[in-house]
Amino acid sequence: MKNLIQQSVNDSITVKKEFFSDNIENIESCASIMAAALKKGRKILLFGNGGSAADCQHIAAEFVNRFRMERKPLAAIALTTDTSVITSISNDYSYEDIFSKQIQALGKKGDIALGISTSGNSPNIIKAVRQAKQMEILSVGFSGNNGKLKQLTDICFCVDCDTTARIQEVHILLAHILCDLTERIMFNE
């Protein structure tokens, strides 16, 4: 057991170190894009399944409430939380449509659609990104190293690893860093 714990910790650290050393510039530029969109009154729409749905809610809360500094609320919404919307779309159409229909309803040109999928292939994520493109909404993907998301999104953060949990651990650290940088860019600190 002790070895298993140590192995998970070591793997997580190794995957994180590799990812962040390869993606520093991409992260800086994504934070600038987010800050510019939020400054113009645009919003960030987040969507994912399972653990990534939880990440979407977590990230939206950092923007809407606060991350590190006292500042005004920023516009972000997780499309994973309204059970009436999600169940009615799944029931009447299909689970594949749960995010794309919400993008269609709530998204506006200039917003940012942030889709999280460790496989990079979940059909509801892919469909939502396609919907965003049609509406001139910039798409950001958080994924693993496989799947369609990286080809489809305008900016993709791909974690070079095959283990879902390790990929998710990079995603949440990445999200925290993006929140931190976005706040600093917007509020000059």
Binding residues for Zn(2+): 58, 62, 168, 176
Residue from 12, 100, 102, 122 touching ligand I22 (CB under 6 A): that is 122
Show contacts with Zn ion in window 152-171 (CB under 5 A).
Answer: 168
Instruction: Give the span between the Cα atoms of 42 and 61, in whole angstroms.
Output: 16
**Closer to ligand I22 at the Cβ: 176 or 184?**
176
Residue from 51, 58, 95, 96 touching Zn ion (CB under 5 A): that is 51
The stretch among 6-14, 44-52, 67-75, 152-160 that binds ligand I22 (CB under 6 A) is 44-52
Regarding 8 and contact with ligand I22 (CB under 6 A), the answer is no
**Closer to ligand I22 at the Cβ: 50 or 110?**
50
C-beta atoms surrounding 25 within 10 Å: 8
List the beta bridge partners of residue 157.
142
Beta-carbon contacts of residue 151 (< 8 Å; ≥ 6 apart) = none
The minimum distance between CB 168 and Zn ion, in angstroms, equals 5
The minimum distance between CB 121 and ligand I22, in angstroms, equals 7
Question: With contact defined as beta carbons under 8 Å apart, do 138 and 114 qualify?
Answer: no
Number of residues in contact with ligand I22, rule: CB under 6 A? 12
Provide the angle, in degrees to the nearest 10, between the axes of the packed helices 164-187 and 51-64.
10
Q: How many CA atoms lie within 13 A of 8 on its CB side?
A: 9
Instruction: Give the span between the Cα atoms of 187 and 98, in whole angstroms.
Output: 34
Question: Which chain residues interact with Zn ion by CB under 5 A?
Answer: 51, 168
Which residues of this protein are in contact with ligand I22, per CB under 6 A?
49-52, 117-119, 122, 125, 164-165, 168
